[in-house]
Amino acid sequence: MKIGYPCINRTVQCLGNKTFRLKSYSEEKLKETIQNNLNCLDKILEFNLSHGLMFFRMASDMVPFASHPVCEFSWQTEFQEKFRRIGAVIKAHGFRISMHPDQFVLINAKDINIFQRSVKELIYHAQLLDLMELDQTAKIQIHVGGVYNDKPNSIKRFIKRYHTLDDSIKKRLALENDHRSYSLADCMIIHRETGVPIIFDTLHHQVLNNGELMGDALKTAAQTWGEKDGLPMVDYSSQKPDAKKGNHALSIDLDDFSHFLSLKGELDFDIMLEIKDKEASALKAAQLI
DNA sequence: ATCGGTCAAGGGGCA
DNA sequence: TGCCCCTTGACCGAT
Q: What share of chain A is helix, strand, coil (3-state, %, to 5)?
A: 45, 10, 40
**Mean pLDDT computed over A17-32:** 84
**pLDDT, averaged across chain A:** 93
Percent of chain A with pLDDT over 90: 80
Q: State the pLDDT at residue A17.
A: 63
- State the helix-helix crossing angle for A27-51 and A80-93, rounded to 10 degrees: 10
pLDDT at A276 over 90: no
Partners of A58 in the beta sheet?
Answer: A99
**Cα-based distances in Å from A231 to A43, A88, A136, A199, A250:** 25, 20, 11, 11, 27
**A20 CA vs C12 C1’ separation (Å):** 11
**A92 CA vs B11 C1’ separation (Å):** 41
**A98 CA vs C15 C1’ separation (Å):** 43
3-state secondary structure A192-257: HHHCCCEEEEHHHHHHCCCCCCHHHHHHHHHCCCCHHHCCCEEEECCECCCCCCCCECCCCCHHHH
Rounded CA gap, A44 and A28, in Å? 24
Q: What is the pTM of this model?
A: 0.95
Q: State the pLDDT at residue A22.
A: 87
**A81 CA vs B14 C1’ separation (Å):** 51
For residue A109, say whether its CB is under 7 Å from any atom of strand B.
Answer: yes
Q: State the pLDDT at residue A242.
A: 66
**Mean pLDDT computed over A18-31:** 86
**Mean pLDDT computed over A206-226:** 95
Residue nearest to nucleotide B13 (CA to C1'): A180
**Mean pLDDT computed over A119-124:** 96
**Mean pLDDT computed over A170-197:** 96
C-beta within 7 A of nucleic chain B, residues 16-75 of A: 19, 21-23, 60-61, 64-68
Rounded CA gap, A136 and A170, in Å? 10
Percent of chain A with pLDDT over 70: 97
Higher model confidence: residue A13 or residue A57? A57
